Amino acid sequence: MREPLFGRGQCEWALEKLARNKPRWGRDAILLRMRVKRLLDADRTAALPEAVESKAAAFAFNEAAPTGKGGEAAFTAFDIYCLWIGLRLLNMGFKQGEVAAAMRLVRPAIRKAYRSVLKRVPHHDFVFGRPAPKHPDYRAFLWLRSVDLVGLIRDGAVGHGLRAFSKLAIVFDDFGALTVFLATEVLNDQDGILLEIGGAALGLRGLLANAPTIKRGRPVAKGD
């Protein structure tokens, strides 16, 4: 069954709604849309070393080739979810090119976590876009050993094989397993970035189910 597609305006509307609890950047709609544009532009040009190019997704934030100028962009719910993770990394200070390249590499791993969360929590168990209290197991976590994955590979800090490449990003569906893993990482003095990614999968599912049709460039009316 083909996934529903959403326009650029619907994508930005859902991301703005989801970002409202991010006081440093999520409440500025103009800034958020500018960052979405930067990520999409970087996705068209993000380059990976030849050794891992075939193992990465073709694009970080689009299932298919992104549309060029003058075309109406179309996104799956998972595309928008990846954009949300990209926005969070961008807000942490990483460059858009680094984020786009990293997301190309980790997109397959994130897809598994995304599908797992949606299967665990039925669609109707929502309270205003949030999981109902009876589903405490909706959490999922993404551990990135670095966002500058291209630099790590190029400098030989990790191997070029599929196994070494896959260890750069690890997804946890269980908090206990994450705790054990982090204890080991800390003991070994390993650096990394930890993001909770389960809540956003559920939040976007609820928001996109009610996303209004919005033409690109048209401001969202107050109260939408």
DSSP 127: E
* Helix extents (H) in 92-223: 96-120, 149-154, 162-166, 175-187, 198-208
Mean per-residue pLDDT, 153-173: 60
d(CA 114, CA 201): 6
Q: Residue 66: pLDDT band by 50, 70, 90 thresholds? A: low
112 or 11, greater pLDDT: 11
User: Do you know the residue count of the chain?
Assistant: 224
- Residue given tokens 């305006």 in the structure block: 9
For 100, the 3-state DSSP assignment is helix
d(CA 159, CA 147): 16
Q: What are phi and psi of 172, to 5 degrees?
A: -120, 130
Q: What is the pLDDT of residue 80?
A: 96
Helix axes 77-91, 96-120, angle to 10 degrees: 130
Q: In what order do the strands lie in the sheet with 193-196?
A: 169-172, 141-144, 193-196
User: pLDDT for 16-62, tens place per residue?
Assistant: 999 887 777 767 888 899 999 999 999 988 877 776 777 778 899 99
Q: What is the pLDDT of residue 134?
A: 54
Please state, as a whole number, how many other Cβ atoms lie within 10 Å of the Cβ of residue 169. Answer: 22
Q: What is the pLDDT of residue 57?
A: 83
d(CA 161, CA 170): 16
Mean per-residue pLDDT, 74-91: 94
147: Cβ contacts below 8 Å, ≥ 6 apart:
89, 94, 98, 99, 102, 193
Highest mean pLDDT among 78-87, 113-122, 212-221: 78-87
pLDDT, averaged across the chain: 77
Q: What is the pLDDT of residue 35?
A: 93
Say how many CA atoms lie within 13 Å of 91 toward its Cβ.
19
Highest mean pLDDT among 43-57, 84-98, 183-197: 84-98
- Residue given tokens 């992104």 in the structure block: 66
Whole-model pTM above 0.75?
yes
Cα dihedral 168, 174, 179, 184 in deg (nearest 10): -40
